[in-house]
Amino acid sequence: MAEGIRARNVHHAYAGGRTALAGIDLDLSEDSFAAIIGPNGSGKSTLLRVLAGLLQPDEGSVEAAGLDLRRVRHKERARRIAWLPQSENEEIPFTALELVLMGRFPYQGFLPFDRERDLEVARRCLREMEAEALAGRRLAEMSGGERQRVHLARALAQEPRLLLLDEPAAALDLHFQVEVYRLLRRLNREQGRMVVMVSHDLNLPAAHADTVVLLDRGRVAALGAPDEVLRKEILEPVYRTRLIEARIPGTGRRFILPES
């Protein structure tokens, strides 16, 4: 079984009959850094939850990180796949270290006592996310960028092969958006972790991701390298708006803006 992602004919509808996914076929290699983009309601977050094993498709099959998600126990899945939702409760009364230790649950027994190994991993993950100095601080005392680094450290504490992230840079200022993408790229390149994220931003994925998945009405409208997918003739019919396409001087990298 492949260590990347293989989805075949995936369908999912919510209560009331609203279709979210309508026959998704998707292949991503285990070394991918992929961004899922598309307009609101295109199925981005639903697809991410299906890839995480948190939603079972009504039809079709999904293999991810070497697992058949129809036939895997929760703890086994959590050792291979980490999922970070778009928003978290920031009022929980835990320090950064305590929160990151929650990521060690898949490796603990019936009684979830923290062992020395768990503490070592939690501290290492905080260090990797450049958040070691935050270990004793509570989330409510942190900036948005600091909190996001702590949540990423918690996901890393699961020691997963695959990181699934829903809008990891949402609600952050430009500095922290770039910082989060830089950290994710480093995890992908230096540690060999597969990263798949949902993004409403079109230009940050162009700068950092190696693969872009464009969704439209629950289907894959385009899949490929950023320079292949992020083209106005491909994006305009999906986003149903006129766009401007340009190149960044000195890099040749394409960027997209809505036409004013």
What's the pLDDT tens digit per position in 159-201?
999 999 999 887 778 888 888 888 889 889 998 899 999 998 8
Report residue 157's pLDDT band, with 50, 70 and 90 as the boundaries.
very high
What's the pLDDT tens digit per position in 224-253?
999 899 999 999 999 999 999 888 777 777
Residue 13 pLDDT more than 90? yes
- Average pLDDT, rounded, for the chain: 90
If you write DSSP's letter for every residue of the chain in order, what string do you get? --SSEEEEEEEEE-TTS-EEEEEEEEEE-TT-EEEEE-STTSSHHHHHHHHTTSS--SEEEEEETTEETTS--HHHHHHHEEEE-S---TTS--BHHHHHHGGGGGGS-SS-PPPHHHHHHHHHHHHHTT-GGGTTSBGGGS-HHHHHHHHHHHHHTT--SEEEEESTTTT--HHHHHHHHHHHHHHHHHH--EEEEE-S-SHHHHHH-SEEEEEETTEEEEEE-HHHH--HHHHHHHHTS-EEEEE-TTT--EEEEE--
CATH of 32-53+74-231, one of 3.40.50.300, 3.40.605.10, 3.40.50.2000, 1.10.3720.10: 3.40.50.300
Report residue 26's pLDDT band, with 50, 70 and 90 as the boundaries.
very high
What's the pLDDT tens digit per position in 49-61?
999 999 999 999 9
The pLDDT value given to residue 1: 52
Average pLDDT over residues 70-95: 86
Between CA 234 and CA 194 the distance in angstroms is 26
Exposure pattern of 181-196 as b/e (b: 16+ CB <10 Å)? bebbbebbeeeebbbb
pTM: predicted TM-score of the whole model, two decimal places: 0.91
Between CA 187 and CA 173 the distance in angstroms is 21
